[in-house]
Amino acid sequence: MDPHFHIALVLFVLATPIAFAYDNSPLQDTCVAVKDSKSAVFVNGKFCKDPKLAIAKDFLFKGLDNCGNTSNKLGSKVTLVTVNELPGLNTLGIAMARIDFAPYGLNPPHIHPRGTEILTVLEGTLYVGFVTSNPDNRLISKVLNKGDVFVFPKGLIHFQYNEGKTNAVAISGLSSQNPGIITIANSVFGSNPSISDAILAKAFQLDKKVVDYLQAQF
Res 35: pLDDT: 75
Indicate the number of domains in the chain. 2
Residues 199 and 119 in one domain: no
81-93 pLDDT per residue, tens: 999 899 999 888 9
- One DSSP character per residue, 18-77 reads HHTSSPPPPSSS-----S-GGG---SSSPPPPPGGG--GGGG----TTSPP---SSS-EE
94-105 pLDDT per residue, tens: 999 999 999 999
- Range of 197's domain? 183-218
Q: How many CA atoms lie within 13 A of 27 on its CB side?
A: 19
- In this predicted structure, the answer to whether residue 10 has a pLDDT above a threshold of 50 is no
Residues 6+ apart with CB under 8 A from 44: 27, 28, 82, 83, 84, 177, 178
Res 40: pLDDT: 65
Residues 217 and 157 in one domain: no
In a domain, 27, yes or no: no
- In this predicted structure, the answer to whether residue 7 has a pLDDT above a threshold of 70 is no
162-202 pLDDT per residue, tens: 998 999 999 999 999 999 999 999 999 999 999 999 999 99
